[in-house]
């Protein structure tokens, strides 16, 4: 029996930079070139100074768990054998309240703590690469420490 393909990720001109970044092993977030404010979710205007001079820049990949939940219901056939899994809001280190939603890997729900330091890594997802976060000090399936 073949495994279902993941749901398609739609690329558009406004998110293409993000997918090109993940392919290159970088998490790119829009940043105002006038005042330096990080803008996520991506918008064509800075919410801090209203400049329209925003451009993608790489972030460090360091952050902390702001919020999380464990998902038990598969919303697509691809995820049936992957539940339960953790979804977290990560506060990126670059700026207070710079939040990024992602999967949290390498930990069980009972061990997650708010404010826990995490580190970015990348995982395959069909023909794309997606950013996921692992607790600092946790090992991956190859035994590499984050």
Question: pLDDT tens per residue, the chain (146 residues)?
Answer: 578 888 988 888 889 999 999 999 999 999 999 999 999 999 999 999 999 999 999 999 999 999 999 999 998 998 999 999 999 999 999 999 999 999 999 999 999 999 999 999 999 998 999 999 999 987 665 545 45
What is the phi/psi pair of residue 124, to 5°? -70, 145
What is the phi/psi pair of residue 16, to 5°? -55, -40
> 116 exposed, middle or buried (CB, 10 Å; 0-12, 13-18, 19+)?
buried
Say which CATH architecture domain 60-146 belongs to. Beta Barrel (2.40)
**What residue segments make up the domains of the chain, in order of their start?**
11-58, 60-146
Distance CA 18, CA 12 (A): 10
């Amino acid at each position: 029996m073949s495994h279902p393909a993941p749901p398609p990720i739609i690329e558009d001109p406004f998110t293409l930079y993000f997918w090109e970044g993940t392919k290159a092993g970088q998490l790119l977030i829009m940043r105002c070139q006038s005042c330096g404010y990080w803008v996520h979710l991506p918008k064509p205007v800075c919410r801090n100074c209203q400049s329209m001079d925003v451009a993608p820049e790489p972030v460090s990949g360091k952050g902390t768990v702001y919020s999380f939940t464990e998902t038990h219901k598969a919303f697509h056939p691809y995820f049936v054998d992957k539940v339960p899994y953790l979804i977290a809001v990560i506060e990126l280190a670059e700026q207070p309240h710079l939040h990024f939603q992602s999967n949290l890997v390498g930990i069980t729900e009972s061990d997650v703590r708010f404010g826990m330091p995490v580190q970015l890594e990348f995982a395959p997802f069909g023909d794309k690469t997606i950013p996921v976060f692992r607790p600092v000090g946790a090992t991956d399936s190859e035994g590499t420490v984050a």
